[in-house]
Structure 1
């Protein structure tokens, strides 16, 4: 059964770079997946009154912001279409609208119709990071965070962050399309961060993956008081990992997302493609 993937591209106040569009198509090609590219343009309610219109010309500013958002969206869709044609990826596209504060929520709702969500992550954009967080925790689908500054390349070496938890198990299952195509899988357990169910959990998961015909090995990692998200990414890069797979830990407290340490570290300092499930 073909994987149905989507790339979710909010365009206000910031938009992902062209690199995210290119990377999304590259991932779809690697998975032999169909791809839906959904840009989410801003729709700003006109709440101006006579005084604000006179002083700020607010309706004009709203139209300008909406036009800029649509323009960014069309450029992103054009980039996706060009790349999809070159890579022979089946592509559909759509243009959605959302109020300024609902970009992430609309993206998450749209992502529920697909097997895999892809979202861009940018170092200097709180808006894009917030939208990515919303998709991870509200879409109910595995979400692949794509850096906007480099080509992701072939995700042939997958690093699985494993602590034996329910969330981690869910993520490993969701990562099956990547694991089945990987040339190497490194199961990494951080052994000095928290109490673990037992000492050999990485070996047990690696053994199960090998029983399925996959090339898996187990490793223990000591964070040594470094932030857990940083330690995982640095280790993954050190051993040649191309994709980090990990659970997304967090819960909502009156709509403010309270994140686990590793999740917060990844979402604040992404260094490589990361697949998360919640």
Structure 2
């Protein structure tokens, strides 16, 4: 059964970096998957009244914001289409719209119809971060978060962040398409961050993967004085990992995300693609 992947891109107030299109197509190509590119354009309601028209010219500003968002969306879809044609990836595309407060929710809702969601990541742009977090925690689908400033390359060394938790187990299951195509699988357990179920959890996971025909090596690391997210990412990069797989821990209350330590650390300084499941 062919995998269905989705690239979800907000276009307001700023879109992710220019590499999100080529990276998403490259991932779909590696997975022999189809790709649906969905841009979420802003739809700011008209607030026309005499005062806003005379003093602030709000109606015109709203029209300009909506038009600029649509223009960015069309340009991005054209870029994805050109890249998909070059790589011979089957592509569908769509333009969605949402009010500013509901862009992330619209992206997450759309992502539920696919096997894998992909989102771009740009540091210090809150709207992009909020959309990515909403997709991770509300879509019900694994989400691949793509850095915006470099090519993802071949995702052939998969690094699993493993603590034996429910969300980590969900992430490993969701990562199966990547694991089956990987040349190297590393299982990393941080031993000094919290109490673990038992000492050999990494070896147990490696044995389980071996029973499924996947060879993996387990190792333990210490976070020391570093944040756990930074320790995981640093180690993954040190061993030339090309994809980090981890569970996303957090919840939403009144649309404000409260993230677990590893999740927050990874999202604050994303330096390689991360497959996150919740």
**TM-score bin (small chain):** over 0.9
Task: Quote how far apart the aligned CAs of 1:55 are.
Answer: 1.0
CA RMSD of aligned residues (A): 0.8
1:43 aligns with 2:43: yes
1:101-155 deviation per Cα after TM superposition (whole angstroms, max 9, x unaligned): 1110000000000000000000121110010000000000000000110000000
1:104 maps to what in 2? 104
- Paired residues of 1:18 and 1:79 also in contact (CA < 8 A): no
1:71-97 deviation per Cα after TM superposition (whole angstroms, max 9, x unaligned): 111111011001100111000000000
Task: Quote how far apart the aligned CAs of 1:207 are.
Answer: 1.2
SS of residue paired to 1:240 = coil
SS of residue paired to 1:119 = strand
Query: TM-score normalised to the size of structure 2?
Result: 0.98
- Paired residues of 2:17 and 2:121 also in contact (CA < 8 A): no
1:141 aligns with 2:141: yes
Equivalent residue pairs, number = 278
CA distance in 1, matches of 2:111, 2:19: 20
- Paired residues of 1:108 and 1:138 also in contact (CA < 8 A): yes
CA distance in 2, matches of 1:68, 1:255: 26
2:120 maps to what in 1? 120
1:204-239 deviation per Cα after TM superposition (whole angstroms, max 9, x unaligned): 101111221112100101000201111100000000
SS of residue paired to 1:146 = strand
CA distance in 1, matches of 2:42, 2:254: 25
Task: Quote how far apart the aligned CAs of 1:252 are.
Answer: 2.4
CA distance in 2, matches of 1:36, 1:252: 27
CA distance in 2, matches of 1:29, 1:23: 10
CA distance in 2, matches of 1:18, 1:143: 19
2:238 maps to what in 1? 238
Query: TM-score normalised to the size of structure 1?
Result: 0.98
- Paired residues of 2:52 and 2:59 also in contact (CA < 8 A): no
- Paired residues of 2:251 and 2:257 also in contact (CA < 8 A): yes
**Structure 1 residue runs of 4 or more that deviate by more than 3 Å after TM superposition:** none
CA distance in 2, matches of 1:12, 1:196: 42
Counterparts of 1:1-278 in structure 2 under 5 Å? 1-278=1-278
Task: Quote how far apart the aligned CAs of 1:23 are.
Answer: 0.2
SS of residue paired to 2:15 = coil
What stretches of structure 2 of length at least 5 have no aligned partner? none
Task: Quote how far apart the aligned CAs of 1:254 are.
Answer: 3.6
SS of residue paired to 2:154 = coil
CA distance in 1, matches of 2:26, 2:264: 27
CA distance in 1, matches of 2:44, 2:189: 46
- Paired residues of 2:142 and 2:275 also in contact (CA < 8 A): yes
